[in-house]
Chains A and B, each alone.
Chain A
């Protein structure tokens, strides 16, 4: 009889006991701490302030560009193009792997020296590994009458700036 009561006192194996509870609490807190560390690390490694050149470039007076000319600004990596339809700015950074393309006056094309992509002066791809055309960049005329380009804002092609 005594033995039997002892047997019934024993907890069934499915019962949620204190040890399992604290193990879960411990592992849970470690998990939360690990997730917090991940977020913390990501935030730390991702700079909040960049000392990079401004995305907005002042390209000078619009009149300084001749009609049907392509002018490259090497420092900011853009082409200023003036056609009969108007002005537009094109990114000179190849859409393949980020090399700086160049304008070939004789052939009338834009070519990338790294992997051989070629583009028309409207940015359209002729050949090569580049997955996308060179993007058009937002252009406007400032209050001082200068031609401005925002390198960080792409616009759909063929939106000429008419002055």
Chain B
């Protein structure tokens, strides 16, 4: 007897191999669905159950999720771009041009990386404003707001360090100006500037340092803080929703117009 699609899926989910990986088992009872979340290394960061109004579009506009989506795109396209890019003074600019004009789909991947980066910065700010104006930062979510601020700084630093890598005039002067800002820090400003660039001017050392920061240090920091940020949503009682929409005030005028409408 041929099996239909649902039966096939159930058969696969009931197989020994599947059960050895996903231990929640077959069936779609509430318990099974909760276990599927709870027993998954990635999904267990989230709550096993959420209220429908929490996941409605109007509650969050999905800005945090969209930000994470752009981050995933950036990680994937970034790793692919690394395969053709050498962070050295003679090669960096030529490699960037090769990615645009020689490598198959290189232009697409580079543009995707660049536009996703712009979009991520925009979405991070939009997410922040949405959280702020809804008051979702209040007790008990203050700590997750602070984690969010850390993630905002990491996002901006990722943007800034990535800016130098094409090694063109814009990159050079933007980083010259940007790194000179650190000289404004009292007492240790000059030292910070020297450590950041690995020298007194934007040069081979600076390019390599920014490359390591951009491709290793900052993404790892971002992943760590994103994990904490997601986990704290569950710990702080789920996504914030307003308990009740404010009721429209009944005035004498509105009562009359309502009557007339009848």
Contact = CB atoms under 8 A, between A and B. Distances in A.
B191 to A, nearest CB: 8
Interface stretch (B52-60, B172-180, B247-255): B172-180
Contacts of B180: 96-98
B25 interface: no
B149 interface: no
Interface in A96-112: 96-99
Interface in B199-222: 199-201, 203-205
Given A46-B194, A47-B205, A51-B204, A99 B177 contact: yes
Nearest to B201: A52
A59 to B, nearest CB: 20
What size tier do the contact residues of chain B reach? 10 to 19
Grouping DSSP codes into helix (H, G, I), strand (E, B) and loop, the A interface class, with mixed when no group exceeds half, is: loop
B176 A52 contact: no
Nearest to A41: B195
Interface residues of A, number: 12
Contacts of A50: 199-200, 205
Task: Find the residue from B177, B179, B191, B203 having the highest chain A CB count within 10 A.
Answer: B177
A65 B43 CA distance: 72
Contacts of A47: 198-199, 205
A158 B70 CA distance: 56
B173 A99 contact: yes
Contacts of A51: 203-204
A30 interface: no
Contacts of B204: 51
B200 A98 contact: no
Nearest to A114: B177
Nearest to A115: B177
Nearest to A47: B198
Task: Find the residue from A96, A98, A114 having the highest chain B CB count within 10 A.
Answer: A98
Contact of B203 (A52, A96, A97, A98): A52
A99 B203 contact: no
A98 B176 contact: yes
B227 interface: no
Interface in A33-50: 42, 45-47, 50
A32 to B, nearest CB: 22
Interface of A: 42, 45-47, 50-52, 96-99, 114
Interface of B: 173, 176-177, 179-181, 191, 194-195, 198-201, 203-205
* 3 A-B pairs with the lowest CB-CB distances in the bound complex, closest first: A98-B180, A97-B177, A97-B180
